[in-house]
């Protein structure tokens, strides 16, 4: 499964926002490496990959509901 290039660019822009310190694109890359290492264990890898990419797409350090908004 591949994520459309325009969505990847949108995600990279979000994860590159200046208020981010941990949930950056490097964090997503690290999660993808872990995901790839477990490739044979996923029942629905597409759903896991979408969740991995978007889990913190919205991040405002003053709000407690970032993950809910990202969903």
For 5-15, write each residue's pLDDT tens digit: 898 899 999 99
Cα torsion at 27, 44, 47, 22 (round to 10°)?
A: -10
Q: Mean pLDDT over residues 18-30, rounded? A: 91
Domain region containing 24: 5-70
Residue 32: left if φ>0, alpha if ψ -120 to 50, beta else—which one?
alpha
- Please name the residue that has the structure tokens 């913190």: 56
Domain count, the chain: 1
pTM of the model: 0.81
Burial class (CB within 10 angstroms; exposed 0-12, middle 13-18, buried 19+) of 28: buried
Identify which of 9, 1, 13 has the alpha carbon closest to the alpha carbon of residue 50: 1
């Amino acid at each position: 499964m591949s994520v459309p290039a325009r969505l990847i660019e949108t995600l990279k822009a979000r994860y590159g926002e200046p208020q981010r310190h941990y949930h950056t694109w490097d964090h997503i890359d690290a999660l993808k490496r872990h995901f790839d290492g477990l490739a044979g264990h996923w029942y629905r890898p597409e759903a896991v990959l979408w969740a991995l990419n978007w889990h913190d797409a919205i991040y405002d350090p003053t709000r407690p509901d970032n993950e809910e908004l990202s969903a």
